[in-house]
Amino acid sequence: MANQSPLDVYLGNDWTRHKADFWRAMADHVSQADAGQVVLVMVGLPARGKSLISGKVKRYLQWTSVKAEIFNVGKYRREGTPHPDAKFFDAGNPEGEKARRAAAEAAVADMLKWLKDSANKVAILDATNSTKSRRKWIYEKLEEARMAHCFVESKCDDEELIMANILDVKTTSPDYVGQNPEEAARDFRDRIKMYEKVYQTIDESEKHLTYVKVTNIGHQVVINRIQDYLQSRLVYFLTNLHIKPRSIWLSRHGESEYNLEGKIGGDANLSSRGFQYAKMLPELLRRSGLPKDAPLTVWTSTLKRTNQTAEGIVEEFGWEKLQWKALDELDSGTCDGMTYAEIADQYPEDFKARDDDKYNYRYRGGESYRDVVIRLEPIIMELERSENVLIITHQAIVRCIFAYFMQVDQAKSPWMEVPLHTLMKLTPRAYGVEVEKFKANISAVSTWRPKGSTAKHHEAGEADTVVGEVVANGHGNGKEEEQKNGTN
């Protein structure tokens, strides 16, 4: 039998009976608690994961309905100096210093303007902020605006990790677009040397600051003067992060018997084609590019169809498998085991209400997509602290996890098409998330229903041959090239 997740072991059997009530209560608590505003100020040398961390924080907050925005000083600087060489960042270069100061001032001004709207909660100032004088200036500006703050310093002396970040930046940073990769890497290393000359870590002389210092991706964490709920929540998230290169593989279970009948929910077995997909999944994983000498951990829900889909992978690769109740499909309550036609016939008002606001609609005795997002928070925390993970789960759950990584708008995420017999590989990068899709040449019904359509699933044609296709790079726009708007 597969291992259970630590959360499920702790909560035991009562968890199954009371999980919907628990996550609804959590959703209400979180929405009421996030009342304040705070500015996160990044600190650190280049190639220490500041932009990666900033992006992770923003997408986590937005995914949990907290409005957040990144103010990247480099973006402002590029308006006047789009492709500077390392000498531009020399503290002894007065023209470069003047331009960088102007960029910082513009970013802070826009940030404070954005925060005048009380609905906006967390601003992230993404820059090196590597000297005490720069941090003093930022602190004074925030005090003048009566704005809470938290400086976040990312330190790293792990040369292997630093080199991996340099390689990532040279291929994804707007500063090096169109440049020779080797020349870009050389220039970026020279830029780091310029910053190292003047870099000052946060120390006892700045004990009046609220800050978090994370050294070597969480090996050591120092916390100072954390005061309110939102700051505490952010610190908890930050202490679970790492910036090591990794990928996350996402797949729905193979086609199930309920899928063939057009029914939702339940705990059905796989269909014959679903078992074919389970058998082919190890080959899809190989084609996707598995990391060398780094085994994946397999996560499934507790339902039969996901565990049956994972059997061949565990048997062939010998990877550890964990079952998570939090990965179970959205609870459809009294509609469990029904078709959409039956729901539309028996509960026409509910069917329409779900079409009108699918993210917030809650099935009678069941869950909404908002509830699912809240119960997935432990999953996201564990994902952020993990390395390479394969998740085999369900349509609504894949939508919510994909929406987290790609920053898909809440109103759109429940309508995304997530076809059966398709493996997705998500690779977080410094400036976005790369998505690759690998489709199995095994037919399956479509379980996708477009918004406003008739109460039935829409049939899919023959599946494409197996391909490895880069379909999207998420840079905060929540778009995907092959994504359609459509249901569970």
Cα–Cα distance for residue pair 110/102, rounded to 1 Å = 12
Helical packing angle, 132-144 and 94-114, nearest 10°: 30
Given the residues 253, 394, 421, 457, the one annotated as active site: 253
3-state helix, strand, coil in the chain (%, to 5): 45, 15, 40
Burial (CB count within 10 angstroms: exposed 0-12, middle 13-18, buried 19+), residue 303? buried
Question: With contact defined as beta carbons under 8 Å apart, do 306 and 392 qualify?
Answer: yes
Q: Is 208 a catalytic residue?
A: no
Given the residues 8, 34, 126, 436, the one annotated as active site: 126
Nearest to 418 by CA among 447, 442, 440: 447
330: DSSP letter: P
Q: Which amino acid is at 337?
A: G
Given the residues 329, 355, 367, 480, the one annotated as active site: 329
Question: With contact defined as beta carbons under 8 Å apart, do 272 and 454 qualify?
Answer: no
Q: Is 329 a catalytic residue?
A: yes
* Residue where the block lists tokens 């959205």: 330
Question: With contact defined as beta carbons under 8 Å apart, do 255 and 306 qualify?
Answer: no
Nearest to 327 by CA among 396, 247, 263, 422: 396
Q: Is 242 a catalytic residue?
A: no
Cα–Cα distance for residue pair 225/277, rounded to 1 Å = 52
Cα–Cα distance for residue pair 47/245, rounded to 1 Å = 13
Catalytic residues: 126, 253, 329
